Chain A
Amino acid sequence: EIVLTQSPGTLSLSPGERATLSCRAGQTVSSNYLAWYQQKPGQAPRLLIYGASSRATGIPDRFSGSGSGTDFTLTISRLEPEDFAVYYCQQYGSSPRTFGQGTKVEIK
C-alpha cells in the first residue's frame, strides 16, 4: 500500500496568513489521484480537492492544490477563522486507498 506522509504535523498561523501543507507519497500516485479533506472538531471530513488540483463543489478559491507524482501541496492563500482545522490527504489511485496522518492548522 502507498504510505502518505504529511508535514508539518502542526502549523501555527494567524488569520490572513498563507498556509502550505505537504503530502509526500512513498510511491507514485497513479494519475495524480490525490484528494484533500478538511475536518473540524466533532465533524465529518469534507472533501476540498480531488485530482490533486480540482476544487470540490462549493470550496472557496483560497484553497488550491498542486503537485504530481509523489509530492503534493495544499495551499490556503489567506486563512479565515473557519479554516483552522485538521487536513488529510488521501490517494485513490491504488488499492487500498490510504490517508495521511493529518496536519493540524491552529491559531497562533
Chain B
Amino acid sequence: EVQLVESGGGLVQPGGSLRLSCAASGFTFSSYSMNWVRQAPGKGLEYISHIGPSSNAIYYADSVKGRFTISRDDGKNSLYLQMNSLGDEDTAVYYCARHYTYFDYWGRGTLVTVSS
C-alpha cells in the first residue's frame, strides 16, 4: 500500500525557517517524481514544487522560488522541503504527492503557521 506521511510543520515566526519531510513507503520511491502542494486556510490547491527521479528536474512556483528548496534522499525514501524567509502568505497545509503525470497519491498534510 502506498503511504506518504508528512511531518515537520508547526508555528514559526515571520522570517523564520522550517524543514518539512515526507516519508514514503509501499512503492519504489527512487523511480518516481514527487511534488509539494499547499493549501492556505479556506483556499484552493497551489502546486509549489516538483523533483524528478535522481533530482534530475526541479520546479518551483514563483511564489516560493529563491526561498524554498526541494530535495530527496532515495536511501531513506524521503522527500524534503526547506522553507526559508517565511511570511504570512506561507501559512498553509503542505501536502506531498506522488507524481504519475497526474498526482495519484497524497499524504495527509502538515500544517505550517507563520505568525508572531
Contacts and interface: CB of A to CB of B under 8 A. Distances in A.
Interface string B26-66: 00000000010000000011110010000000010100000
Interface residues of B, number: 18
Interface residues of A, number: 22
A92 B101 contact: yes
B14 interface: no
B47 A46 contact: no
Interface of B: 35, 44-47, 50, 59, 61, 95, 101-109
A37 to B, nearest CB: 8
B103 A90 contact: yes
A50 to B, nearest CB: 5
Contacts, number: 50
A95 B59 contact: yes
Contacts of A102: 44-45
B102 A92 contact: yes
A88 B44 contact: yes
A67 B34 CA distance: 28
A97 B95 CA distance: 15
